[in-house]
Amino acid sequence: MAHSSDERQREEELKTQLRPEARERLIGRIERFLDLERWGFHLSYVVPKSKNDKVIYDSPWCRVKFTLLIDLREGDEMAIWYARSHVPNDVELVME
């Protein structure tokens, strides 16, 4: 499913809210290893410049949240959570 130019512009605006290292380590990996666009997902929400970077991708059917913890000694840790499409962005217990 191809995104419209408005959706692509919105995604680019969201990406700028993340720390540079999170853009590369989190968004970069998601885009490189998971073809979310193929399944109808688009970036819909980010938690800007936080200790644990979080992004949410939406599809017509569900939402997927990715978090990244950057640890220079142990290596990066990425976690993935699933939720139904109606769950709000800020509901941590449902998304975790």
- Note the pLDDT tens digit of each residue in 42-92: 999 888 766 677 899 999 999 999 988 777 777 778 888 888 888 887 766
Amino acid at 1: M
Both tokens of 36, joined, read 């979310």
The answer to whether 66 touches 45, Cβ cutoff 8 Å, is: no
Question: What pLDDT does residue 57 have?
Answer: 93
Q: Which residues contact 61 (CB under 8 A, 6 or more apart)?
A: 40, 85
pLDDT tier, 21 (very low <50, low <70, confident <90, very high otherwise): confident
The answer to whether 63 touches 94, Cβ cutoff 8 Å, is: no
Does this model's pTM top 0.85? My answer is: no
Beta strands per DSSP E along 17-61: 42-47, 53-58
